[in-house]
Each structure stands twice: as C-alpha cells, then as structure tokens.
Structure 1
C-alpha cells in the first residue's frame, strides 16, 4: 500500500516544539511519509525557551513545552527526515497529500510566516483541495496566501480558529518585565486580529472556550479545533493531539 506523504515547512529557528513533534510522532506511528522543508535546506531548530524552559522563571511549568512534547522532539531531531530537509523551493504540491503548518512565536519564525514561496504553495494545496492543517501562528500563512483568481485569502470564506488574542496578550503581560515582547511576534498586531482581517466575516473566527488545560490522548476534548472542508486549524499546543488525529483522519478519508 502506498504511504501518504505529508509536507511540513519550518523556519530555520523558532518553531514550537510541541506543534512540530507531536504531529510528527503520531503521523509516523501511522506510517505516513514526512518531508520537512526550511528556507535554505539546513536542519531547523526549535525555540529553545519553549524546549528547555530557560528564562521562564516561575512560569516554566505553565509555559514550557510539556515533557511528552520534549521527548517527541528529541526523537524527531535524530530522524532522517528532520536532519535532511529540503529547501522551500524544492517541492511541488503534486508530490504530497497534505500540508502541516506548525506555529512558533520567536521572531525567527517571521521568515516562515512571511515566505511568498510558502504562500504560493498553500494556494496550490487549496486549489487541489488537499488537506491543509495550521496551528497557532501557523494560521497566518493561509491567511496571507492570496489566490490570484479571487485576490482574496484562500481561507476568505472558511470557518477557522488560531491563537487567541487573549492568549497572546496574557503571555506577553506575564513575561514582559524580563522577556520584553518575546511573546508578541508582531508587536503591532495579534494573530487573531490579522486572521479575522483575512476573513469575509468576523463570525467565521471560532474562539472556543478559553484554553486552560492541554489535551492528550486520554483527554482529547480539552483540545479545540475547527475543520472546514480541506482546512483544519487549532489555537495552541494544548490542542495538538486533537489537531493531529483529525489531520490524520483527513488524510485517510
């Protein structure tokens, strides 16, 4: 049986370890073939603060990546596919069955979130009606991907979710005295505000209840996701198990 192929773009530095490694682990368990791509074809590195908890102080137990995600990341970073990524410009939609767009909030992710090459790739995935999944800041890539036919975002008429303004600003205010604007990738706006601006109507943005507990395989209901046709979106690492399993369902339908 032919294995489904999933493409995962990453920035050179700053991806969220939970949002990359947990989907990778669950996809690998189901025998999916995974290809990573980075801007220059060199191996990516996750956000060290999220990975180690360094500089988070007393908030480390709350804000750092959970141990299951750290373990999955350590396993992933020794895998062949992660250590030998391709370049953004090396791939075409025809070679893949689905696209996964993790998030991350370190300023290093801007090269990923602002890549015109990736935005063009996202347009191609939507035009082919292939599954696209985005979480946290990763939702900004579809939001910024303009279909040349409509001159609108590919998710213009989709229901979706993404990192909540309340989440982003709460993390910023809790840590700004020593981390400055680390939690604000774009200090001039929030992910939620930009995402809503790309939609036809604000009501298409689904916030869900304010996230407190993170999901896992035993507590999937803690995770909030929104699926509309070929597009799946989630808000933060606390949704990642629910998000990953639904993406797998979309790929196997």
Structure 2
C-alpha cells in the first residue's frame, strides 16, 4: 500500500551558492503545495545562495527568472527547512522518498558538481527502486560523474537521460559572452557532451525532446525524460513539468 503524499519527504541538494532560482523554487512550491516535506542540504550546512543575476536579470534585465518563480523563491527562503539545512556529510539520503538535484551554471556550481560525498550517497539511493531521483539541467552531471563501484561505470551508463542541451548552452553563452565572459560555461566541456560520454549507447539513450528556447508555464514546450525511478529535465523552462512528473512518481510509491 502506498503512503499518503503528505507523509512523503523529499531532499533538495543545493550548492553553497549559484543554484538556479526556477529549478529550485518551482519544484519546492509544487511539492509543498501537495503536502510533501522538503528538506535541504548544502556543503557547508548553511542556507544556499542562488545565482543573484537570475533575480535581477542576467543582462539588460533579461534572461532571469520569471516573476512567479522569483515569488516562489522568496517564499522558499523563508521556510524553516531552507533556513536550517544540513551538511551533505551529515544527511542520511536514505531517509527520504525522493532526491532533487537542481542546476545552475555560474562558477559556484562546481563545488556541488564535484562533491564526492553527494555521489557516494546517490549510488545506493538510485539503486533502490522505491526511491525517486530528479535531476534538471546541470544536476544531471552529478549522476554522470557518480561511478557505481559494482560496475565501474557511471550511473547513466545504462540509463536514458536528458540535460541542458548544447544548443541552449551555446546560445546563452554567445548572447552574453561579450559582457559576462564564461558566465554560461561552467566547464570547457558542454553538459550534453559530458552526459553522452557517460552513456553506453548515447544515440539511443540520450533524449533531447522538442527543440525549444521559449519555456512555458503551461508546460506546452516542456520536456522531461523518465527512466524507471529517474526523472531528468533540460532547463528552467521544464521546471513545472519536471516537478509534476516527480510528484506523480512519489505519489505512486
């Protein structure tokens, strides 16, 4: 018998700074509205700091989070759970029904994307089919870099996944590089290339969805990829569908 949704718990794993406003606040809003308890953990055990340019506008007041997402973000920041996160090292991931790995692209994300504690705790979590893992945008890199000791392969080696697509990353970089340099390029390698390299058969495993640079609150242009207990999405424009898909999986546990 499945447990009522109101009894379910979800853990949002955040970098110390530079996480994406929409990819965190929209799922938080949808989960809490549905009665889930959402806890947070960071590397230093202090409240995480978002990429502040997404609140003010990346360039000329544009390319930032939408008004609704910013409202959700400010509400999330006032929640006792956000104000009192645990450290990665002190958090028992297995106490939760679902794990959310959000994205972001500014340089502060490297602390989170390169953390081995997260990877080590993620491996047994995703192996448990009664748990759900959601990763969006750069969050998918955490799975790509997590190596299952039983196989010596990435957690994405046999899984289908999407991620921040190369044309999305290139477009944002080319539009803003003249002013912000490598702000939109976290690493030399594109996210899509790293995800594909982690797969055994990327031609069949990698899922791009419909080409889109619009985003939509009504999910018209959104896309998520589902592979058993793993849900992945590409960018902030997918955040609503991403959260609703995870919620449906959690509700059916």
TM-score range, shorter chain: over 0.9
Number of aligned residue pairs: 246
Aligned-pair Cα RMSD in Å:
1.1
Alignment of 1:1-253 (within 5 A): 3-53=7-57, 55-57=58-60, 60-61=61-62, 63-129=63-129, 130-186=131-187, 188-203=188-203, 204-216=205-217, 219-253=218-252
Deviations 1:220-240 (A, max 9, x none): 231110001011000000000
Quote the Cα distance in structure 1 between the aligned partners of 2:117 and 2:248: 27
User: 2:77 and 2:38 mapped to 1: Cα distance?
Assistant: 13
Once residues 78 and 122 of structure 1 are traced to their aligned partners in structure 2, the CA distance between those partners, rounded to angstroms, is 27
Q: Which consecutive residues of structure 1, in runs of 5 or more, have no partner in the other structure?
A: none
How far apart, CA to CA, are the structure 1 residues paired with 2:97 and 2:110? 26
8 Å contact kept, 2:210–2:221: no
Q: Distance in 2 between matches of 1:49 and 1:116?
A: 28
Alpha-carbon separation, structure 2, partners of 1:242 and 1:184: 25
- Scaled by the length of structure 2, the TM-score of the pair is 0.95
- Which runs of no fewer than 5 residues in structure 2 stay unpaired? none
Contact map agreement 2:46 2:85 (CA 8 A) in 1 = yes
Shift in Å at residue 92 of structure 1?
1.8
**What SS does the aligned partner of 2:179 have?**
helix
